[in-house]
Amino acid sequence: MALETTLILFKPDAVAKNIVGTVLSRFENEGFKIRGMKMLFLTDELLADHYSHIADKPFFPSVRGFMQETPVIALALEGDDVIVKVRDLLGPTDSKAAAPGTLRGDFGDKEGDAKMRNVCHASDSPEAAAAEIQRFFKDGEVF
């Protein structure tokens, strides 16, 4: 097992549905530790950087619009093998394909864009987690 820290973004659908606390408690119940947490509005520049792999795609403006519907909550979460474990807890990106008991299966959008309105973003590798934590947290904001 490896002690890791990952980035979670509570997306606007989680904020609007008022389920951040419920989702956060499920992470804490798994034994993960909060190392940093803040609410912020995502600027065009920050979104272009975070989604640089799709920023040139024709659907990116809808992603940007969604991610700016409300502020998001950034969470630095620590635990043994937390990156894989959080992604397992979330379930597949497409909420329509997510099993009940997973966060996306329980709370993700089943009617609309289930790949975008899926509760949380989570880092997919240690390298991505390190870059994403740096992107969303300043020095001294992760403990």
Query: For the residues 15-44, what does the mean pLDDT come to?
Result: 98
Q: Give the pLDDT score at 107.
A: 97
Instruction: Look at residue 137 and tell me whether its pLDDT is greater than 90.
Output: yes
Instruction: Indicate if 121 belongs to the active site.
Output: yes
Distances (CA, A) of 120 to 2, 95, 108: 23, 11, 9
* Chain segment 71-110, per-residue pLDDT in tens: 999 999 999 999 999 999 999 999 999 999 999 999 999 8
Q: Give the pLDDT score at 111.
A: 86
Confidence of residue 127 (pLDDT cuts 50, 70, 90): very high
Q: pTM of this prediction?
A: 0.95
Q: Give the pLDDT score at 112.
A: 83
Query: For the residues 14-36, what does the mean pLDDT come to?
Result: 98
DSSP assignments along the chain, one per residue: --EEEEEEEE-HHHHHHT-HHHHHHHHHHTT-EEEEEEEEPPPHHHHHHHTTTTTTSTTHHHHHHHHTSS-EEEEEEEEETHHHHHHHHH--SSGGGPPBTBHHHHHS-SSS-TTTSSSEEE--SHHHHHHHHHHH--TTS--
Q: Which CATH class is domain 3-37+74-136?
A: alpha beta
Query: For the residues 8-36, what does the mean pLDDT come to?
Result: 98
The active-site residue out of 98, 103, 121, 122 is: 121
Instruction: Look at residue 12 and tell me whether its pLDDT is greater than 90.
Output: yes
